[in-house]
Structure 1
């Protein structure tokens, strides 16, 4: 089981590395790592388990955050309508995106960042992601809203990008022009 101690923090060099593709079919080790990442998110959202193991609640986790520089992400989140989106993916990539932007009105946070970073993070309002599931199935996801933002945040980790790299340093609370505000 992954715990909070397994998550590396900002400043660790692995968080700035471009992750490697996972060879498919994945090795047993890679599959187990990805399963453990998903279990962490599920456990972190369970009030009893998160308290027992001192887990910070998370909705997404990328393998570089546990010091594994490989293209693997886990996402476990309910969208604005309450629908659960739960994915454990190898080699996710954004294949297309909208021109239109969106942002979380509350800003973004990260399991690898133990401080509040004030500011709005502009993201694409809609993205299409291609990836391979834990079961080896090729999938194509069309995402919007909160789920699209979480996917972009995690895929950024695979490219060595932190969410605060996107914040406008001169005016951190300036909403991107024409962008859709998303409440969280």
Structure 2
């Protein structure tokens, strides 16, 4: 079981590396690591389990965050309508995106970053992602709003990019052009 002790923190070199593609079909070890990642994200959202094991709640996790430089992500979140997006993916890639942007009105956080870094993080409002699942299925999904933001955050980790890299340094709360705010401020 993955715990907060397994999460590498900001400054660790693996967080700035471009992760390697996972060879498909994945090995049993890769499958187990990805299964453990989605279990962690779900556990972190369960109040009893999170309290028992000292887990910070999260909606996504990328393999580099547990010191594995491979292209694997786990996402477990709901959109504004309460629709659940629960995915454990190998080699996810954004194949298209909207011109319109979006950002979280409350800013973004990260399990690998122990402090709050205020500011708006401009993302694409809509994205299309292709990837392989734990069940060896090839999927093509369209995402918008909050789930799209979560996927972009996690895929950024696979490319050595941290969320705060997107924040405008001199004007952290400058509203991004052509963007919609997601969530309450």
TM range (shorter): over 0.9
TM-score computed with the length of structure 1 as normaliser: 0.99
Query: Residue by residue, what CA displacement relative to the aligned partner does 1:138-183 show, whole Å, maximum 9, x if unpaired?
Result: 0001000000000000000000000000000110000111201000
Q: Which residue of 2 aligns with 1:175?
A: 175
CA distance in 1, matches of 2:73, 2:173: 28
Q: Which residue of 2 aligns with 1:163?
A: 163
Q: Which residue of 2 aligns with 1:75?
A: 75
CA distance in 1, matches of 2:104, 2:56: 19
Q: Which residue of 2 aligns with 1:122?
A: 122
Matches within 5 A, 1:27-46: 27-46=27-46
CA distance in 2, matches of 1:111, 1:77: 15
TM-score computed with the length of structure 2 as normaliser: 0.99
- Number of residues of Structure 1 aligned to a counterpart in Structure 2: 184
Matches within 5 A, 1:77-156: 77-156=77-156
CA distance in 2, matches of 1:170, 1:43: 37
CA distance in 1, matches of 2:42, 2:179: 31
Q: Which residue of 1 aligns with 2:14?
A: 14
Q: Which residue of 2 aligns with 1:65?
A: 65
CA distance in 2, matches of 1:117, 1:175: 16
Residue 55 (str. 1) matches residue 46 (str. 2): no
Gaps in structure 1 of 5+ consecutive residues: none
CA distance in 2, matches of 1:128, 1:175: 24
Gaps in structure 2 of 5+ consecutive residues: none
